[in-house]
Structure 1
Amino acid sequence: MSDTLTVSLETTRGDWDAFVASHPQATAYHDWNWREVFGPVFGHEPLYLAARRAGAIVGVLPVVGFRSRLFGKFFCSLPFVNYGGVLATTPEAAAPLLAEATRLARDRGAAHVELRHVARQLPEAPVRQHKVTMLLPLKESAEAQWTALDNKVRNMIRKAEKSELTSESGGAELLDAFYAVFSVNMRDLGTPVYPKRFFAAVLAACGPKGALHVVRHKGQPVAGSMTIVHADRVEVPWASALREARNMNPNMLLYWHMLKEVIARGGTVFDFGRSTPGEGTFLFKKQWKAEPVPLHWEYALIARDSPPDQSPGSGKFAMAIEMWKKLPVPVANTIGPLIIGNIP
């Protein structure tokens, strides 16, 4: 059998997932099942590239092809989530994966390929370092974790516990409660909301690794989040709380509830998710003693001279954000899913 490295779209779920499970830098989003989120929910094109040598996979790169009304055509690995990009056993396997993704992107008229890496994997590629992830190494017990918290954080959790708030965890049965909070919070932030079917597809893709968490006040949901387990790490990609319930600190109870559950299951790292340094979510996560880890979004530029800024929070969307905040929630929930699928 030839020792030449080849890259193609021809692979199987079993071979793909076996390689991902063996790779120390893999994330939950590299799993094959996520094809059923990117493709069916939003109509984008999943292109899952595998590099092989002597028949064995030595690298993979899942990319998603966009035809966006807002940003044109581009490739992303991976959109809507915090991580993605190349997984390879050697640098020699990584470069051909990007080269083939770039060729496919060029053939489809795409302007660039974006790879969402933690550490740099393609030193010659253009890069943006505008985001960090926030990681908290966990103590061996909930009691030790509680002791490690600052007094201010402990007092806010105690206030939440005294405010007739309850917390629970589950799966799809909590989707309506989670979405009731998430959709209102997104409107309040001026951001188009994902459709409910997106979160249903994420839960299906994650299986037992995914969970929803809801905090209620007198039976009504006031905070909610999703967690995804991968190896010894638990990540919170989405979390929200209602502004009108802020004085009860439901978000503090929500995170303490999640932390206790993770520790009880033997998790060692709590990933608070992506943030922009200095902004409100960054400061919220920092108070739990999470530490920032820089993210490196690397690019292959095809029909542009510099990496794009496609964030809905960028300055060019400021007026639209302020207008969005004034929409009735049912209107925002109807229009939002038609827009958000165009924003990676």
Structure 2
Amino acid sequence: MHDVSRTSQLAQRRGCDPRWIEAIRHGFGHRTWGLTEGRAESPSATLPLSLVSTPWFGRFLVSLPFINTAGIESDDEASARGLVDRAIVEADRLNVRYLELRGERAVPHERLVTKGDAKVHMRLALPGDPDVSWKQLDAKVRNQVRKGDKSDLTAVWGSHDLLNDFYCVFSVNMRDLGTPVFGRRLFAAILDAFGSDAELCVVRHGDRPVAGALLVHGTDFTEVPSASALRAFNSTNANMWMYWHLLRRAIERGKTVFDFGRSSPESGTYRFKKQWGAQPFPAVWQYYVRSGSIGDMRPENKRFSMAISVWRRLPVWFTRIIGPPIVRGIP
């Protein structure tokens, strides 16, 4: 049985790795910086911020875009409130539409609107042995992984040397979902910023890349900011097979928590992650809204339904050109 309380403690302790600031700055070209409270050598609270700005969507102040958890990391409520006050001043000065803080615990503040029910973090407590992890899996999951074993699949690990193969799978999957694709530059920046703590996994069917994932390893956890598989190869169970290898990799590197990322409760991705034994933990996003509404830029907004439908019919090569300039402006 998984120790859910241990998972929660580990997840909430970790904060935001400062290397994400460099990755976001170089990967998107956003102005990105950090605010601190207390002594410079030992701050009592920290808040990374990124100015997301494009002519077609406007300006937003976010902590942080792309990643699941950033927001305020604080030893006490007074320091946290002090950082919120300063972030609000920055939001007013920069004339943004809203300030968005992506955390796991709400900071009590009268000028913030809390939205804590739209997404959850899906996390799994890992044992110290892959064989123990295998035995903990549901029989249906193990059977799907075994089918992958029989499908001529191979997994390779690397860094920049696998970026082209990874991005090929990722961009096709994003097109199929109707979502503008992140630029190759973002993933290169993450690999640069995290060094040996970031790696790519590419699954091949014969010689063809059919699935790929980016892993980022923290002190005691591994997270998967991006994972994709080609729908045309669903019969090989490449995605299930890959995720088992991702879990094994995290265990082999001594990690005790695997972070599957965010999902909407009861969505398809939520059920996919839950079948591995992952448990939900709150994703608390707080806002200081200056104009418009919180939901204006969310993909589930009905005004984007036509754009999603059109995007799915575009050639992949074209989405790789126009996708990155579009998505860099979405908070």
Q: TM-score, normalization: structure 1? A: 0.88
1:331 aligns with 2:318: yes
Q: Which of 253, 263, 275 is the matching residue for 1:287?
A: 275
Q: Which moved more, 1:167-176 or 1:232-241?
A: 167-176
2:99 to 113, 120, 124: 113
Task: Select the residue among 61, 75, 79 that pairs with 1:93.
Answer: 79
SS in 1 for 2:294: coil
Find the aligned partners of 2:235 and 2:189 in 1 and give their Cα distance: 33
* 3-state SS of paired residue (2:297): coil
SS of aligned partner of 1:30:
coil
Q: Distance in 2 between matches of 1:136 and 1:24?
A: 14
- Alignment of 1:156 onto 2:144: yes
CA positional deviation for 1:38: 2.6
Using CA pairs below 8 Å that are at least 6 residues apart, which structure has the higher relative contact order? 2
Q: Does the Cα contact within 8 Å between 2:114 and 2:285 map onto a contact in 1?
A: yes
Counterpart selection for 2:131 from 112, 125, 143: 143
SS at match of 1:60: strand
CA contact (8 A) 1:312 1:343 kept: no
Tell me which residue corresponds to 2:294: 307
**Contact 2:27/2:190 (<8 A) preserved:** no
The reply to whether residue 340 of structure 1 matches residue 327 of structure 2 is yes
Deviation readout 1:219-275 (Å, 9 max, x if unpaired): 111000011111211111100000000010000111000111111222111111111
Q: 3-state DSSP class of the match of 2:287?
A: strand
Aligned mates of 1:220, 1:315 — CA distance in 2:
36
State the Cα deviation string for residues 174-202 of structure 1 (Å, max 9, x = none). 11111110000000000000110110001
SS at match of 2:88: helix
Establish whether residue 65 from structure 1 lines up as the match of residue 51 from structure 2.
Answer: yes
Q: Distance in 1 between matches of 2:131 and 2:42?
A: 46
The one-letter code matched in structure 2 to 1:316 is R
In structure 2, the residue matched to 1:210 is 198
CA separation of 1:187 and 1:24: change in aligned 2, threshold 3 A: closer
Q: Is the 8 A contact 2:27 2:187 kept in 1?
A: no
Structure 1 CA distance for aligned equivalents of residues 21 and 254 of structure 2: 29
Instruction: Supply the AA of the counterpart residue of 1:65.
Output: L
Identity %: 43
Cα offset, 1:213, TM superposition:
0.6
Q: CA offset at residue 41 of structure 1? A: 3.2
Displacement of 1:55 after TM fit? Answer: 6.8
State the partner residue of 1:126: 113
The alpha carbon displacement at 1:115 in A equals 0.4
What residue is the counterpart of 2:304 in the other structure?
317
User: In the alignment, is the contact (CA less than 8 A) between 1:77 and 1:115 conserved in 2?
Assistant: yes
SS of residue paired to 1:156: helix
- Report the alpha carbon displacement of residue 299 of structure 1 after superposing the two structures with TM: 1.5
What is aligned with 1:50? 36
Does the C-alpha gap of structure 1 residues 54 and 331 become closer, same or farther in structure 2, counting only changes over 3 Å? closer
How far the C-alpha of 1:150 sits from its partner, in A, is 1.1
Give the Cα separation in 2 of the matches to 1:38 and 1:281. Answer: 25
Alpha carbons of 1:294 and 1:70: their partners in 2 closer, same or farther (altered >3 Å)? farther
- Pair 1:168 & 2:156 matched: yes
For structure 2, the residue ranges without an aligned partner over 5 or more in a row are 1-10
| Aligned residues of 1:113 and 1:300 also touching (Cα < 8 A) | yes
Show the counterpart of 1:191: 179
| Residues 122, 298 of structure 1: 8 Å contact kept | no
Asked whether 1:25 is paired with 2:9, we answer no
CA apart distance, 1:56 = 4.2
Instruction: Please report how far the alpha carbon of residue 315 of structure 1 lies from its aligned counterpart in structure 2 after TM superposition.
Output: 1.8
Q: d(CA) in 1 for partners of 2:26 and 2:136?
A: 44
The answer for the alignment partner of 2:5 in structure 1 is none
TM-score, normalising length: structure 2:
0.91
Deviation at 1:88, TM superposition (A): 1.6
Report if the CA contact (8 A) 2:91-2:98 is conserved: yes
Q: Would the aligned equivalents of 1:111 and 1:301 in 2 still touch at CA under 8 Å? A: yes
Tell me the distance in 2 between the aligned counterparts of 1:236 and 1:38.
16
Q: Does residue 224 of the first structure (1) align with residue 212 of the second (2)? A: yes
Which has the larger displacement, 308-317 or 334-343?
308-317
**Conserved 8 A contact 2:295-2:301:** no
SS, match of residue 107 in structure 2: coil
Change (3 A) 1:133 1:228: same
1:238 counterpart residue number: 226
2:89, 2:81 → 1: CA distance?
12
Do the aligned residues in 1 keep the contact of 2:68 with 2:102 (CA within 8 Å)? yes
Alignment partner, residue 20 of structure 1: none
Runs of at least 5 residues in structure 1 that lack an aligned partner in the other structure: 1-22
Residue 237 of structure 2: aligned partner: 249
